[in-house]
Structure 1
Amino acid sequence: MDQKEERLVVSVVCGQAKQNPDWLAIEWPLTVIVNGRHYITLLASPSHLEELAVGFAFNKGLLTATGDIKSLVLKADGRQAELELAGKGVSAADLAAIACPTAVTDGFKDKGKTLSPDEIVGLMQEFSTSSALFRETGAVHAAALAGEGILVFREDVARHNAIDKLAGNLILAERDASSLCLLTSGRISAEVVRKAFRMGIGLLISRSAPTSLGVQMAEELGMTLVGFAREQRFNIYCNPWRVAI
């Protein structure tokens, strides 16, 4: 499925205008149907849509593992994902952990991957050169799961969708993320921290900055936030023990 489309634009440089072709990232409506009912319509890049539907449902607490998925079908030329889920749902404690994880858990205070500064710089260099779609359109966010190198790379017009695609990949591949870190091009908000916590990841690294609530939540959960990871520098905002300095 195409991820971009070409359009003629009027470019103005130093007051001079001329028409040039330009690439636009495609924004695609994906309607998620859960157990026969409309749940939400997401606006997304038209790639890895099964992962997006599963990851979104996982991060909303609608499922917890691959075994909760009875069926998953893409219909309407990829504009509709139909999820049939086991009816057991999640417990009240699970829902509380999803909404406010710091209220019910001690978090990752003694868990998670540890990286050296050189490893962080190397991963972010690999991450920054992985998105041809961003270089062509400038209109997508990226996220990745990394260990010794980047294992899974996803991009989307919405930064939360890119992370949900990673969550869906973890669920569908039945992969344990506790030894991995999450790389993202977007800011680290409290919602991003919550998603990473839900995925079992204790180390988040971004080219951008975290928010105050994102840092507060990560600190309470024992998660490590690294921001402004560009070229040879980065900032560690909380729980620095996962960075071997």
Structure 2
Amino acid sequence: MDFIKEIPAIKWKDGNFQKVKEHTVGDENIYFFIDNLMPRKFSTYPTHLDDFAVGYCLGEGLIKTADDIESIDIEDNRVIIKTKFNHIPEEDFETDSILQERKGDGQHVCACRLLEYQGVMSDSAGGWRSELKNIQVNDSDLTIDASQIIKDMERLTDKAEVWQATGSVHVAQLVYKGEYITREDVSRHVAVDKVIGAAAKKGYDLSQCYVGYSGRMPADMLIKVVRVGIPILISNAAPAGSGYEIADKANITMVGFVRGNRFNLYTAPERVNLNQ
């Protein structure tokens, strides 16, 4: 596998120890240059960077569809992204209702405000995520069987090849009409960005997709799925209070602690067939 490193370690067990070789991932700093905006730095497992670029721009509200990206050029640790909107730092992005009113006037507006460095928050993995200014309620009619949630989490573990080799990454998968996209990264956010980007490139209807991943569910993760319109988020870990509040307001079905043959269902329970 790409970017797997071997490192020395001392393994201790029951009072005995020995020198061993362990595997880890070679994470790197990646810089996004999106139109004329300030560069953005991420610590990432540097694979599927084109998927990451698309998913990140969607999750930040910088584009509406994958077709809004004109080009993605990858030069070593630099990812240069050109969109048809030619964003500049001074732009003031507005709401969808205003977008409808101003269609055709030649001026780009968007569903969120532009990332401003005084108005962003860290995703805890070396990147920046903008805050959500408006919460749009998700009215997707997608449903999933309870038993499928368990099967999908088992599949997530089985397909986590880099995690199995190193334990150093998170894994995410997106499911759409029985088709799966799986990606791994040192950042749970980037892993999810990658599956969203890959799905958008394939033209999947994100309102009929759901995402499962490893890691907690705080506000900055829920913001991403709210923006792109994904109705169900599943994790083997816990929700944060901030994540719960956004999921509840946006009618996102949030499922946590999927372990063995159990899970907790926190919000929008109507999308889960509990008897199936």
Say whether residues 1:92 and 2:90 are aligned partners.
no
> What is the CA–CA distance in structure 1 between the aligned matches of 2:22 and 2:61, rounded to whole Å?
40
Cα 1:104–1:149 change in 2 (3 A) is closer
Partner of 1:220: 249
* Greater percentage in helix: 1
Question: Match of 1:64?
Answer: 64
Would you say the 8 A contact 1:160–1:192 is kept in 2? yes
Matched-pair contact (CA < 8 Å) for 2:61–2:227: no
1:205–1:226 contact (8 Å) kept in structure 2? yes
> Could you say which residue in structure 2 is the equivalent of 1:239?
268
Count of residues paired in the alignment: 240
Contact 1:112/1:180, CA 8 A, preserved across alignment: no
The equivalent residue for 1:144 is: 173
Give the corresponding residue for 2:162.
133
Segment of structure 1 superposing worse, 184-193 or 59-68: 59-68
| Cα-to-partner distance string for 1:93-139 (whole Å, 9 max, x where unaligned) | 111597336x453x12x414211111111111111211021111111
Matched residue, 1:19: 19
1 CA distance for matches of 2:85 and 2:172? Answer: 31
Q: Is residue 230 of structure 1 aligned with residue 228 of structure 2?
A: no
2:80 to 79, 82, 85: 82
Q: Which amino acid is the alignment partner of residue 31 of structure 2?
A: T
Residue 14 of structure 1: CA displacement? 2.7
Residues 1:118 and 2:147 are matched in the alignment: yes
Determine if contact 2:25/2:166 at 8 Å carries over to the other structure: yes
Kept in 2: contact 1:123–1:149 (CA 8 A) = no
Distance 1:44 1:150 in 2: 25
Q: Give the Cα–Cα distance (whole angstroms) in 2 for the partners of residues 148 and 112 of structure 1.
A: 13
Cα pair 1:112 1:201 within 8 Å, conserved: no
Between stretches 193-202 and 51-60, larger displacement belongs to: 51-60
| Matched residue SS, 1:209 | coil
- Distance of aligned partners of 1:104 and 1:181 in 2 relative to their CA distance in 1, 3 Å threshold: closer
SS of the residue 2:64 aligns to: coil
**Equivalent in the alignment of 2:108:** none
Q: Per the alignment, do residues 236 and 37 of structure 1 end up closer, same or farther by CA in structure 2, a change over 3 Å counting?
A: closer
Is the CA contact (8 Å cut-off) linking 2:237 and 2:256 kept in structure 1? yes
Shift in alpha-carbon separation, 1:32–1:181, aligned structure 2, 3 A = same
Identical residues among aligned pairs (%): 27
What residue identity is the alignment partner of 1:128? Answer: T
Instruction: Describe the superposition over 1:13-59 as per-residue Cα deviations: whole angstroms up to 9, x where unpaired.
Output: 23333211110111112111122665112110011011112222222
Counterparts of 1:96 and 1:46, CA distance in 2? 28
TM-score by length of 2: 0.80
SS in 2 for 1:92: coil
Contact 2:211/2:234 (8 A) holds in 1: yes
TM-score scaled by structure 1?
Answer: 0.90
The 5 Å alignment of 1:195-206 reads 195-206=224-235
